Amino acid sequence: MVLWNNSDALERIFLLILGGFHGLKTVHAWLLIPFCLAYLVAFIGNITNLSVVWNESSLHQPMYYLLSILAIIDLVMSMSTFPRVLAALWWEALEIQMGACFAQLFFIHTFTFLQSSMLLAMAFDRFMAICHPPHYSSILTNDIIGKTGLGCLLRSAGVVMPTPILLRCYHYCHANVLSHPFCLHQDILKLSCSDASVNNICGLCVVIITLGTDSVFTHLSYVLILQAALGIASAEERLKALNTCLSHVCVVLNFFVPLIGVCMVHRFGKKLPPIVHILMADNDLLLPPVRNPIIYSIRTKQIPRGIIHMFRQRRRL
């Protein structure tokens, strides 16, 4: 097992060795098949959703613009994680340069926080549509949606930016094997022999400011939506109002439930086999971009209708 060299000359060109899939070398070829399929579903599904919203004028609404932003986030997340996993499985490429590792870390954490922010924006969209329908179109304009997306991106990138900078200043003297086939903040931090208290405090503050705040306001939005929906006299209208939120609720659960599971395993499951931690991390980072387009294709009737209409138009051409 290789140790970090503290020499600055060597540290800049040293390679991080990714832990890959511990104990699963004999089944790498079989694991490659489901991971390739998952990557294809994530890529094709999100590209299809983007194309449908772009081509169908009936879908040029705030809800579907936010869905498009979520699809872009899923594409970036899948392109940031899947290629490294596939390389580890197919070519046994278990090494990554430090700079590339920190770049991957930046994209993964930035777009994780960005997805949390966009889920909050989508919850606010449903809140306005159900609780304040007369003001919906005047408040959620195309300009506001664009500024919201840009503001959320700048916030997410701004809070993550110090992390790779601080990590690069640390010295590493422990065995440089990561627990996952991609680079995560806490996974790299535990390899450091420097005082990591600043990173730990900053990381906790960032999580509270982003994921913590977003989750609280997202859940508050749905409490208000549920209260407003239950106040509708007509049972049919009540069901219709709640049904418009169901796909977004599924996406919120798809994001937060695996995230909570990973946190619980890291906090209380230190004695669990490494494969448990790997599978939980994969479920948190790799699978949400796969499940999101499927959820919207099943739960949102306008999306499959738009897909059928788009393919019919292309056949006519």
Strand partners, 3: 175
- pLDDT at residue 233, rounded to an integer: 64
Question: What are the residues whose beta carbons fall under 8 Å from the beta carbon of 299, sequence distance 6 or more?
Answer: 246, 247, 250
Name the residue among 106, 83, 80, 103 with its Cα closest to residue 93. Answer: 83
Query: Is it the case that residue 44 has pLDDT exceeding 70?
Result: yes
> pLDDT-based confidence at 25, cuts 50/70/90?
low
* DSSP label at residue 210: I
Q: How many angstroms separate the CA atoms of 59 and 218, rounded? A: 24
Question: What are the residues whose beta carbons fall under 8 Å from the beta carbon of 127, sequence distance 6 or more?
Answer: 221, 224, 225
- pLDDT at residue 234, rounded to an integer: 75
Which of 291-317 are b and which e, b meaning 16 or more Cβ less than 10 Å from the residue's Cβ?
Answer: bbbebbbebbebbeebbeebeeeeeee
Cβ-contact 245, 124 below 8 angstroms:
no
Please write down the long-range contacts of 268-275, taking CB distance under 8 Å and 24 or more positions apart: 274/19, 274/22, 274/23, 274/179, 275/21, 275/22, 275/23, 275/24
Query: Is it the case that residue 39 has pLDDT exceeding 50?
Result: yes
Query: Is it the case that residue 15 has pLDDT exceeding 60?
Result: no
Out of 31-35, 170-174, 257-261, 278-282, pick the least confident. Answer: 170-174
Q: How many angstroms separate the CA atoms of 307 and 83, rounded? A: 27
Query: Is it the case that residue 8 has pLDDT exceeding 60?
Result: no
Mean pLDDT over residues 36-46, rounded? Answer: 91
Which tens digits make up the pLDDT trace of 128-155? 988 888 888 888 888 999 999 999 999 9
Of 119 and 278, the structure prediction assigns the larger pLDDT to 119
Which of 173-192 are b and which e, b meaning 16 or more Cβ less than 10 Å from the residue's Cβ?
Answer: eeebbbbbbbbbbebbbebb
Of 11 and 173, the structure prediction assigns the larger pLDDT to 173
Backbone angles phi, psi at 7, to 5 degrees: -65, 130
In angstroms, the Cα distances linking 179 to 39, 125, 184, 260, 282 are 21, 38, 9, 18, 11
- pLDDT at residue 309, rounded to an integer: 77
Query: Is it the case that residue 196 has pLDDT exceeding 80?
Result: no
- pLDDT at residue 171, rounded to an integer: 80
Share the mean pLDDT of the chain: 82
Query: Is it the case that residue 7 has pLDDT exceeding 80?
Result: no
Secondary structure (DSSP) of 25-88: GGGHHHHHHHHHHHHHHHHHHHHHHHHHHHH-GGG-SHHHHHHHHHHHHHHHHHHHHHHHHHHH
Query: Is it the case that residue 27 has pLDDT exceeding 90?
Result: no
Which tens digits make up the pLDDT trace of 72-90? 999 999 998 888 888 877 7
Q: How many angstroms separate the CA atoms of 226 and 207, rounded? A: 27
Cβ-contact 233, 260 below 8 angstroms:
no
Would you say the C-alpha torsion 305, 123, 241, 58 has a positive or negative sign? negative
Cβ-contact 67, 285 below 8 angstroms:
no
Query: Is it the case that residue 179 has pLDDT exceeding 50?
Result: yes
Share of the chain above pLDDT 70, in %: 88
Cβ-contact 208, 288 below 8 angstroms:
no
Counting Cα atoms < 13 Å in the Cβ hemisphere of 81 gives 32
Neighbours of 224 (CB within 10 A): 14
In the chain the domains, ranked by start, together with CATH numbers, are: 14-316 (1.20.1070.10)
Mean pLDDT over residues 105-116, rounded? Answer: 93
